[in-house]
Structure 1
Amino acid sequence: MLYGTVLGIHAAAMGTALTLLVASELLLLLGRRGTRKPVAVAFLSSRIAGPLVMIGIVAGIALVFIGGWSLLTPWLVISLILIAMLVVVEAKFVREWQARAQAALRDAATGPGVEAVVGETRALYGRLAMLTIFALVAVLMTMKADVIPFA
């Protein structure tokens, strides 16, 4: 019963966060055309996704212990490596861009246009890499041993 409840919380939080992050990217595409409102909604979507990811992570950690999973289970080790990669990509490609984009959104008169900041290729690739890694972790954790034959 407890495992099922925590699993539901984990899946709902992470699934909603992933959906919000994908929606954010779609809204940022509209921002490349010079429309400010979708960019503002994209950042709101990202801000909501952040706490949901934290809830999902805490629930995931609880699942490892409640479910009796070994920390050396191959799918779990690979998932943790992917999560570490996600953190690195965010720090190197997205964090600084996000601060600049939010500043441009707040004060377009003195800073670079929102369109220019939103359209930065390096940040776009970083965000797409993050979404891809996030989706890989979701698949890996959903499929577990089915994905890794030696697990």
Structure 2
Amino acid sequence: INSSEYKGISNLDKKEQSKRYKELDKKYLISKFELNKYVKPMTQKFKKNIGSQMGQELAERAFATYEKFKYGKAKKVYFKNYENFYSVREKGNITGLRFFKEDCCISWLGLKILVIIKNNDKYVQSCFLDKLLYCRLLKRVVNGKNKYYVQITFEGTPPKKHKVGG
């Protein structure tokens, strides 16, 4: 993106800009598919910790950032190191990072972690009636300590929340 070929593109009109970016992306083999191919050997190296779908998901996040930067919607690309990486997810709830409703736990390549869900929370219970799409593991720093949360995405529209005490 810092090459002379990319420099003048941002001054062109939208259609011409899009056309030139597509040409350059094709020339330099920049695509979501190519990035997934590039990441595949890396996921093999770290297959004890990162599944293939998680590697693809990370590659797609990187490509989305590139797209934002390319079209001027981001000013800088930030590279995350181990300490600043706050979430991981899979493309589905099939392999790698998975949530099991029956056992109320997540499994990540052999590691099982119990998840605390309030049994008396009717909103949460109604969410579990829908099909589970994927889960995301989030790390938050609270009072100087790392806390981990599971964020679950379900299919369809979320149920309506009821007012407390109303």
User: Which has the larger Rg?
Assistant: 2
Which has the larger strand fraction? 2
Does 1 or 2 have the higher relative contact order (CA < 8 Å, sep 6+)? Answer: 1
**TM-score, normalising length from structure 2?**
0.30
Give the structure with the higher percent helix. Answer: 1
